[in-house]
Amino acid sequence: MSRIVSDNDKCVGCLACVVTCMDHHFTGDDPNAVSYRKYKPFDLPRGLTQYLTESCRHCADAPCIDACPVGAITRDAKGWTHVDRDRCVGCRACLHACPYDSPVFDAAGKSRRCDGCMACVQVCPNGALHLE
């Protein structure tokens, strides 16, 4: 199984991974552009704000695969889960099944997810992202 994980102690919240993800997968005028990486701010005890970035964890048991009523989610030989956007009906069953709230949806309501391209890992200035 493969997935990209974030070391929050190294993340400085620059969001370069989020921007790079969008630039790598979409043209500037694509109405369905959405980052495959979610980012969430959280407050540190010192009063500062830090961002947590995460993407699909490509779980070994991947409950989203079984939850998809149209079979749009599959797993490849390397362990990455993929969504066939032509089959996805936008029902969000994958979101409800995901214990990590990872699925993201584009303007058309179709599920999108990390495809393991590694663009975010390569651009991270502090090495906070790595392949696991």
7-25 per-position pLDDT tens digit: 988 888 888 999 999 999 9
Domain ranges of the chain: 4-131
pLDDT number for residue 132 = 84
**Token pair for residue 85?**
């956007």
Residue with tokens 């790079």: 20
| Pairwise CA distance, residues 31 & 105, whole Å | 12
The correct CATH number of 4-131 out of 3.30.470.20, 3.30.9.10, 3.30.70.20, 3.40.250.10 is 3.30.70.20
How many Å separate Cα 22 from the centre of its chain? 11
pLDDT number for residue 85 = 92
pTM for the structure as a whole: 0.85
pLDDT number for residue 1 = 60
pLDDT tens digits, 80-97:
999 999 999 999 999 999
Of 2, 9, 3, 4, give the one whose Cα is nearest residue 126: 9
If the chain, 132 residues long, is cut into consecutive pieces of 10 residues, what is the mean pLDDT of each piece?
84 89 90 88 85 89 97 93 96 96 93 92 94 87
